[in-house]
Amino acid sequence: MSIVASLSLLFGIVLGLRFNVRVLFALCLVVIIAGIGTALFGLAAVGDAALFAVSTTVALQVGYFVSMVIAAMNLTESPADVATREGEARHRIELPRT
């Protein structure tokens, strides 16, 4: 079970870096339907199938959230970079001389 959760977490991270939330929603629905199907066909006990589906879905969502945090960290800039860019912009602006 821990291997499935770990792989789901990693898959959620990759999913978040490459796709939007609609793909995550569709994949979570597929996982829940697979869990229900597993329980209905008697391949696993109802409790085990529910635990599998819920833990896999939660791991996918946590992985997606982690990838959103990683993407947000890549978008932020350090204050030194912003200050130098603003300083360069000030030097480029010249007032008209009369």
3-state secondary structure 35-90: HHHHHHCCCCCHHHHHHHHHHHHHHHHHHHHHHHHHHHHHHCCCHHHHHHHHHHHH
Looking at residue 2, its pLDDT comes to 82
Q: To the nearest whole percent, how much of the chain has pLDDT over 90? A: 34
Between 77 and 35, name the one with better pLDDT.
35
Nearest to 1 by CA among 40, 42, 58, 41: 58
Looking at residue 42, its pLDDT comes to 87
pLDDT bracket for residue 81 (50, 70, 90): low
Nearest to 34 by CA among 64, 9, 4: 4
pLDDT bracket for residue 84 (50, 70, 90): low
